[in-house]
């Protein structure tokens, strides 16, 4: 059986990481039997220092894209087998845009922007004993802020980052339109990815300017609610 290693449920979601959540959604959409192992200590054992990773018998695969590739190969293209070459190209490039663009905006909204930091701090570190619950968040936040500056997103103003997000939301709205899934009536790996990311801003139990902006796109809200109802409720 496939074992999926992620974080623990948080912020009202199966996982607060869009990368873990999109793999979890893929497995549900593809109807692949799996076991979710949710522990913060998984991060210490992650082969690339990041989550998720999966264990398939004696094989460990890290990185959500490599996990998708492995599952598509092993299970005879359960989600993407019906896609045309053009659709596969759109799926791959859209996925990379979310991975490298929207992701860091989400991280900024949770870790650097003061609007949500108090709630995020409590959600992620509130159960630590004193004095760890006071020290660890400060150290972790400083590391994340350094990463965001190195990546470049935090060199923009908050309004500029929100504008970047809004362009992404509008593009996804135009891509989905009135279809049940991105490319029609059947889900593909891009749907798993879209839900993984959009749920983090639309369905998360976190109210801030970034999330409120995402919730202003009714097509995306209905899309998230539809997938959640079908695969998680």
Would you state the pLDDT for residue 233? 86
CATH class of 85-231: mainly alpha
In the block, tokens 């409120």 appear at 212
Task: Judge whether residue 13 has pLDDT over 90.
Answer: yes
Tens digits of per-residue pLDDT, 207-233? 999 999 999 999 999 999 999 999 998
* CA 72 – CA 52 distance, rounded (Å): 17
Q: What is the mean pLDDT of residues 48-61?
A: 96
CB 95 within 8 A of CB 63: no
Angle separating helix axes 218-231 and 158-176, nearest 10 degrees: 70
In the chain, the percentage of residues whose pLDDT exceeds 70 is: 100
Q: Where do the structural domains in the chain lie, given as residue ranges?
A: 2-74, 85-231
Q: Which helix (DSSP H) or strand (DSSP E) does residue 6 occupy? A: strand 2-6
Q: Dump pLDDT digits (tens) for 100-143.
A: 999 999 999 999 999 999 999 999 999 999 999 999 999 999 99
pTM score, whole prediction: 0.96
Per-residue pLDDT band for 92 (boundaries 50, 70, 90) equals: very high
pLDDT tens digit sequence for 155-174: 999 999 999 999 999 999 99
Asked if pLDDT for residue 199 goes beyond 90, the answer is yes
E strand spans, 76-198? none
Average pLDDT (79-98) is: 97
The three-class DSSP label of residue 59 is: strand
pLDDT, position 67: 98
Q: What is the pLDDT of residue 26?
A: 98
Domains 2-74 and 85-231 share a fold: no
What CATH fold (topology level) applies to the domain 2-74?
Answer: Glutaredoxin (3.40.30)
Per-residue confidence (pLDDT) for residue 17, from 0 to 100? 98
- Is residue 36's pLDDT more than 90? yes
Can you tell me the mean pLDDT for 70-90?
A: 97
In Å, what is the CA distance from 112 to each residue of 116, 144, 149, 185, 212? 9, 8, 10, 39, 17
pLDDT score, position 98? 97
């Amino acid at each position: 059986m496939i074992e999926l290693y992620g974080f623990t449920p948080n912020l009202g979601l199966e996982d607060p990481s869009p990368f873990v959540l999109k793999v979890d959604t893929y497995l549900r959409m593809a109807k692949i039997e799996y076991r979710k192992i949710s522990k913060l200590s998984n991060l210490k054992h992650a082969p690339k220092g990041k989550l998720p990773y999966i264990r398939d018998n004696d094989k460990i695969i890290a990185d959500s894209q490599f996990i998708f590739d492995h599952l598509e190969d092993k299970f005879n293209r359960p989600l993407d087998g019906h896609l045309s070459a053009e659709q596969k190209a759109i799926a791959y490039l859209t996925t990379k845009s979310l991975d490298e663009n929207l992701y860091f905006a989400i991280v900024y909204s949770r870790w650097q922007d003061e609007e949500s930091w108090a709630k995020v701090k409590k959600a992620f570190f509130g159960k630590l004993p004193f004095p760890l619950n006071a020290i660890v968040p400060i150290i972790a936040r400083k590391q994340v802020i350094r990463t965001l500056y190195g990546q470049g997103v935090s060199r923009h103003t908050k309004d500029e980052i929100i504008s970047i997000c809004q362009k992404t939301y509008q593009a996804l709205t135009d891509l989905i339109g009135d279809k049940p899934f991105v490319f029609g009536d059947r889900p593909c790996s891009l749907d798993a990815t879209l839900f993984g990311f959009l749920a983090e801003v639309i369905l998360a139990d976190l109210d801030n300017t970034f999330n409120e902006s995402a919730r202003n796109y009714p097509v995306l809200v209905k899309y998230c609610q539809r997938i959640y109802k079908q695969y998680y409720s």
